[in-house]
Each structure stands twice: as C-alpha cells, then as structure tokens.
Chains A and B, each alone.
Chain A
Amino acid sequence: DAGITQSPRYKITETGRQVTLMCHQTWSHSYMFWYRQDLGHGLRLIYYSAAADITDKGEVPDGYVVSRSKTENFPLTLESATRSQTSVYFCASSPDRGQGYTFGSGTRLTVV
C-alpha cells in the first residue's frame, strides 16, 4: 500500500542503548523529516532531508543521527539513549515546498 510507515509503533529501551526508528515512504517524495512531540512543546524538528544523501539538522538534533541513502528510507538513530529522549517520534514526507506533510503513525519511545 502506498503511504508512509514507521516502525516500531512502540519501543522500550534502556539508557545507553542504541535505537533505530525506521521510516519508509512509497511516493518518492523529495523531503523527509523527523519530529519529536512532547507535552507543551508541540512538534520539534530533529533532522530533515531535501533529497537522498542530503540531510540537515533541525531544532533539536543532539543525540540523534540520520541517513538517507535511498529516497524512500529515512531512519533515525539514537546513538546512546537517554531518558530525556522519551517521546513520540514522527516521520513525515512532502513532495514539494508548498504542500503539507504526510505523517507516519508515530513511534512512542520510552527510555528507562
């Protein structure tokens, strides 16, 4: 099915572990984004990508790494998870500048 899928939907991990959140879109959208959602902060941009092999930091990039070797995939890695990274993570994609995003269903990550 066409769309944008995130996995896993829920994840519990321990402090210090490496965690990778997956994001896959089937539209070949140029733009892809990772946001985190925390109460009182709305959605804050972690990283974004305008095309394959092009990634840039957003508002809150510390502790995260991304890659985009293929247009359709945009994984987000927490190199050494901390409790402050407990959050809901959203991946999104967009075909061009004037469009809204289409969001994945989100990953709820808990770091214990």
Chain B
Amino acid sequence: AQTVTQSQPEMSVQEAETVTLSCTYDTSESDYYLFWYKQPPSRQMILVIRQEAYKQQNATENRFSVNFQKAAKSFSLKISDSQLGDAAMYFCAYRSLSEYGNKLVFGAGTILRVKS
C-alpha cells in the first residue's frame, strides 16, 4: 500500500516571502497522480495543484509550483509571494491509477502560518 509522509508538522513564513512544504511518498507503481490540497480554518478542502507522474515538467498554478522528483519519490510545494490568505493546513496526496477504487492517500498535513 502506498504511504505519504509530510515531515513538517508546522511551518512559518513572512508575508511576501517564499516557503517550501515537503512531501515524500512510497509506491512501487510507475503511473499515478499527486496532489496538494489546502484546508483553511473554514475546513473546506481546496485543490491547489496536480501533478501527473508521467510528466517530467513540474506543475505550476500562479504562485504555487511543485518540485516533483520521481526517482526520489519527492513532491514539494513552493508558495511564492506568500499572502495572509495562504495560512492553512496543507495536505499532500497520492492517487493510484492501477489500484481498484483509485483512492487518494493523504499525508498527515503541514500547518502553514503566515506572519505579517
């Protein structure tokens, strides 16, 4: 079974600066998807970014980008020009394409605090 590890329970960043959240995963599969979700205090789960494993190019969405290292099984999220609204819990998630049900497996989450 796949596992996802987020080694940073909590991170802080100054407004307008850049922060990187770490994620590693364990799998024997070659084809899969990776995601970052944001959960603000409202508790709504919001999809931030998606990466297809077969694509070498790192995904970007405005101020959010990933560093996908397939061989190292690493999938970090970089937030540039951090804003107060970025403060949230961030979850890294893995989705198998071959396993029945294609379930998302989540990491334990990283709390991001943004200081003004």
Binding site for B on A (CB under 8 A): 31, 33, 35, 40-45, 48, 50, 56, 58, 88, 90, 92, 94, 97-98, 100-103, 105-106, 108
CA distance A101 to B109 in the complex (A): 17
In the complex formed, the residue of B with least CB distance to A38 is B108
Q: Is the CB of B43 within 8 A of A43?
A: no
Q: Is the CB of B101 within 8 A of A42?
A: no
Chain A contacts for B35, CB-based, 8 A: 100
Least CB distance from B76 to A in Å reads 17
Q: Is the CB of B43 within 8 A of A88?
A: yes
Interface string of B47-62 (1 = CB under 8 A from A): 1001010000000000
Number of A-B contacts (CB under 8 A): 59
Best-buried of A35, A90, A100, A108 by chain B (most CB within 10 Å): A100
Q: Which residues of B59-74 have CB atoms within 8 Å of chain A's CB atoms?
A: none
Q: Is the CB of A97 within 8 A of B103?
A: no
- Supply 16 further A-B pairs (C-beta < 8 A) apart from A94-B102, A100-B35: A33-B104, A35-B106, A40-B108, A44-B106, A48-B101, A50-B100, A97-B97, A97-B102, A100-B33, A100-B37, A100-B47, A100-B95, A101-B45, A103-B45, A105-B42, A106-B43
CA distance A56 to B106 in the complex (A): 18
Chain B contacts for A43, CB-based, 8 A: 91, 104, 106
* A31 and B102 contact, Cβ closer than 8 Å, known pairs A42-B91, A98-B97: yes
Q: Which of B33, B43, B103, B109 contacts A58 (CB 8 A)?
A: B103
In the complex formed, the residue of A with least CB distance to B43 is A106
* A56 and B107 contact, Cβ closer than 8 Å, known pairs A105-B43, A106-B43: no
Least CB distance from A103 to B in Å reads 4
